[in-house]
Structures are given as structure tokens and as C-alpha cells.
Structure 1
């Protein structure tokens, strides 16, 4: 069967239906891009640039003496380069997590990834989840979106909602997400709520089946220093907020470009007299 493919338009990711190439939905993460950027980003970017300038002052001075614009671009790119490195580590860690939870053997890894692997193995021992699915596509024709989720898990919880690694508690189907950044942010709730309420799931071979009912959602926040498995509220109020962002996405990409018409009156051009015309 045909597979789901993705395309990029205007910096946003879209999913193309495997059986109807004219049916294209924006990705969940692109829709979440409609959220206002966290107000800590600008100070963080400024701090990163300032630290690079101070820590590399001799190098920057030599560069500026020969190529001032190049030195400016190098400093401007500090946050972008850092983010790219962190994103690459996150992608590689996600790949390892999927292999581990599928029961694949993972041998020696790069030193910067070793703590992530060790902490993920600690999570597996402490929670003892059962793997169901990973990296398949959640597709919603009802609301017009799609996206690749990280994982479905069965976890066993006691009456207080704590994991029972011996699986003596009640089994729950969980929509899960891996996060490898410094913190976990509230928008993960919007992301997981959208995945849970999709119409169906499409696997890598193009096969699809209805989205099941989930008992909950959770995020595994795992870094090189620690890990934590946290429940996430994906209730109706959270999903309603995601749908507002879905509407904002359409406004930003389509409607906002049509609401201002051509001028029906405007400042007249500079008057040109007959004498001026004849003098040309």
C-alpha cells in the first residue's frame, strides 16, 4: 500500500494522504508553531551570543579584522547552531529509545548519548511498560491535521497512579512522548491531545486502523543528567485550545492574506503640468 509522505510549504510541514494525494493536512507541530514564543527565548539567545563573544574574544577580534560581516553572522548564529546540535542529539536519542523499547540490542554508542541510554534503561526497569506502537502517523479528517507520535505504551498503575513494575496494577493504554530538552513545556499536552483524538492511525506500510480509546497520556523527560515520567492532562479543554490553534493556522496561512483589498482611494501622484510635459 502507498505510504504517508510529508512536504514543506512556507516553513510548515504537511502530511499527504497515502491514497488521495490531493488530501493534505498540516502537521501537529506546525500547528503548535502558532503559539506565542516563550518570553525567555530572546534573553536566552542574547546571553548565548554574549557568552560566545566573551569566551572567544580573541578569535572574534581576528575574524572581525578580516571580515566584519562574517564575524557578525558568526555571533548571530550562536543560538541557531546550539539548537541544531541539541536537535541532532534529540533525534539520535529518540532513535535509540525506539530501538530499546522494541527490544532491539543497542551496543556501544557515542559518549554524549551514553547517559540517555542509561537513563532510558532505568525508566524501563522502574516502569516496565509494554510497547504497542511507535512513530506511526495519527490522521484526522474530522479536524484536518496529522502528525507522527512517539509511542503507545501499556503501563500498569496502582490505586495512587504509580507504576507497578511487576505489572500487578491496572493496565492503562498511554499515548507517550519523549522529550530530551532542558525542560518539559505545557504544549506537549496540546500535542498529545491532538494525537489521541485523530480518526485513525497509519503505519509505515500505509495500513490504517481506527484510533483506540486511551486511558491517559504521559511524557518521558530524559536528559544526560536525569529522567522523569510525568502524566499529562489531555482533556477536552486542552483539545479545544489545540483546535483554536488549528484555526489560527488557517488564518495565518490563508485567510489573513485575503482580508485586505486593493486601495479604492489613495494619495494622488505628483502633479505634472502641461508645460512640464512639453519640455520633455
Structure 2
């Protein structure tokens, strides 16, 4: 048997009757078919968005900040400050619910930068950069996945608000328009945190810097109270804050009142965040 095996081996390697394998014939065999087309920007972005959604499926604890956190804030501020600020919690609820909705969703956006930084530390981004795909797709995928989280937070807030007695005078159309504006602003604002995720070295550093930015920006606004009662030096900042314009626009749309300048300011701020922080983020991503 060993003799036969040896003969077979010699036939495969040293038999002069077998045609030699050339590099050209091997290459022709490997690339005999047409190369598949390069994936488009939209399909690639949606693929990365699906990846972000699958993270929620495998780690459902990530939904805590879009469910329990909004409910806790709404109940706490409504029943703790409602009587003192508006005379009754039910009256204050009509004013504060759109504001708390803006507060919670805008604060959740900072987790985008933390997710980006985590993937960088794990080396996942090195694999993404080696793929023949549209470069911004990975970043946009994060933001599309987070848009689902923002939608869940908005739905949870509205359901709880309706149970507590919130009645939007703008009807379903006003509520949908308000949430759409909030999602648009959050998508644009998230580019700020992706920039931090690429710039800073650790996830803890991203969270610390993000909290230093997001807390003054959200609480120094008209989310909870009318700025008319504030000192003039503070009111100047509050009246020109992007969160103030966003909260006023969302509140107006849900209440059935035309938001006017606040809507234009919110769209302008969204465009500014995209035009400034989008290119900066991609430059950092390409150089990372």
C-alpha cells in the first residue's frame, strides 16, 4: 500500500504527462467571473445601521436610558415642581412634557461617541477602513441605529404623558412633526459626539467631556421654566441656545401653535452641526 501511495504522489507532482500550472491560468481561474459591483452609499449605511440595531438585540440593557430614564425624569419634574411652577402638576405637564422629551433625547445622543470610541479600542474600525465601501457609511450607521433609540424614547414619553393627562392640541400631525424635528436635530447633533469619540483616547474621557458640554446646554434652556424669570445675563445665553429653540419649536408643533422663528433656528443649528462637525469627524476618521 505504501508503494501505491508513493506512486500516486509521484504521479501528481512529477508526472510529465500532467500540464504545468502557470500563474496566468491560475489567475484566470480565480477571476473567471465578473467582479461584484461596489455597494452603494445607501445600502452600506443601512447595513451599518442594522449592525447598530443588532447590538440592542444582543444587549437589551442599552434600552434602559430610553425607557426608564425618560419616565423617571417626567414623573420627577412633573410632580416635584409642577405645583410650585404652574399651580398644579396637570397644568405643568402640558408645558414640561415636550421639554423633557427634548432633554432626554438630546442627552442620549452623547452615547454615540462612546460607542464609536469602544469600537476603536476593539480594533473594529481598522476592519471597516480596509473595506471598499463609502467611508462615511460606518458613522452614518451609528446614527441611524441611534435614531431608533430616539424614536423609542419619544414613544415611551408620549405614552406615559397621555396616561398622566397630557393632551397635545396639535393632534397626531403636530406630535409627528415635533418628533421628526427632534430626530433631525439629534442626528445632526450626534456628529459632535462622534468627533469626541475619535479625538479622545478612552470611553470614560468621552463620557466626561460629553457630560461637561451637555448638562449646561440642556439645563440652561427653557425646558423646565420660562426664561423671562431669569437674570438678564443668563437669559441672553438661554434665549440663543440651540436646545431652547428646539424645545420651543417642538412645544409649538405639539401644541398646535406655529413655531415660527424657533423652527428656522432649529433647522439652521442642525445644518450648522452637519456642515461643521461632519467634515471634521470624517477627517479624523480617515487619519485615525
TM-score band by shorter chain is: under 0.3
What TM-score results when the alignment is normalised by the length of structure 1? 0.24
Determine which structure has the larger helix proportion and give its number.
Answer: 2
Answer with 1 or 2: which has the greater Rg.
2
If asked which structure has higher relative contact order (CA below 8 Å, sep 6+), I would say 2
Determine which structure has the larger strand proportion and give its number.
Answer: 1
What TM-score results when the alignment is normalised by the length of structure 2? 0.23
